[in-house]
Amino acid sequence: MSAPDTAVEIIEVGPRDGLQNQDALLTTAAKIELVERSIAAGLRRIEAVSFVHPGRVPQMADAEAVMAGVPRVDGVRYAGLVLNRRGAERAVAAGVDELNAVVVASDTFGGRNQGVTSEESVAVWREIAGVAHSAGMPATVTVAVAFGCPFEGEVAAARVGEVVRRVAGEGPAEIALADTVGVGVPTQVAELAEQSAANAPGTPLRFHFHNTRNTGYANAVAAVQAGVRLLDASLGGIGGCPFAPAATGNIATEDLVYLLERMGVGTGVDLAAAALAGTWVCGLLGIDPPALLGRAGGFPTASDDAR
């Protein structure tokens, strides 16, 4: 089945989700440069920071300083991840353009990640949505472990659908379904997309995939074929959840761009610039890039064209 001739918006999560699980702590200046490189590559929605307790996620301790230093460019929007009202208030004060809250589809994961049950996380989302609405800014909500929980195992699609139905009542700008630990497969994508559309009609759906078990890109294709037009990705393929065992990197922005563009799906992202940015940030972190485009390059190459 071929993908439709259309466009997908990639939300760059490298500066937040990409860095939060790394051993190396980048300087504020380096984080700002990662944002700048993201913009230069054509990315226009960037999850730049998270407003969480620095003791739990020290990689995000300088969120206010990062937001104070990022460039303000027409058409570029910065999101901040928040887990509670206090985080939402900090994010608004720091000048983010949108809030991204997290609810959980599993009680055990919620307890490990946020100290709340699934039900309690929905209540917290309502508070965060209220802060956003009072500030006149959009709020999105991500449903974590929507494809499976590292502690409880399978998460029923019906349970995810019920969470989606409940969060939709607060008018989120988008609902994102996250494969937090990279266990999902394309059939789940199709099922969850259909169920979410039924339970939150009219609300744009976004997907957040990890490539932990090498299914992330197949899942991205399945999402596009299901009509989804919003996908998260991380330059270099870095990332992961600090509170989930074996939760390795996000799908790589540059690899996703290559995949979609070759399918005839536009992204507006400069592949070469994205690949260079991914290689650069992995060099700062002292890791080999999970992304492949920085090594393999695009196709056809300039030398191929010349022959």
Q: Is 241 a catalytic residue?
A: yes
DSSP count for the chain of H helices, then E strands: 12, 8
Contact 106, 146 (CB under 8 A): no
- Write down the catalytic residue from 220, 241, 252, 274: 241
Other beta carbons within 10 Å of 75: 7
- In this structure, what token pair is assigned to residue 175? 């609902």
Dihedral class, residue 248 (left if φ above 0, else alpha if ψ from -120 to 50, else beta): beta
For residue 117, count other CB atoms closer than 10 A to its CB: 15
Structure tokens belonging to residue 61 = 């301790």
The backbone torsions φ and ψ at residue 222, rounded to the nearest 5 degrees and listed phi first, read -60, -40
Q: E strands within 1-60?
A: 9-12, 45-51
Residue 268, both tokens: 């507006």
In the 8-state DSSP scheme, what is residue 16?
I
Place of tokens 């080999």: 288
Q: Residue 300's CB: how many other CB atoms inside 10 A?
A: 10
- Asked if 70 contacts 32 with a C-beta cutoff of 8 angstroms, the reply is yes
Cα gap 226→3, rounded to integer Å: 9
Check: CB of residue 68 under 8 Å from CB of residue 37.
Answer: no
Q: How many CB atoms lie within 10 A of CB 5?
A: 9
Residue 172 near residue 140 (C-beta atoms within 8 A): yes
**How many whole angstroms separate alpha carbon 233 and alpha carbon 216?**
10
**Catalytic positions, written as ranges:** 241
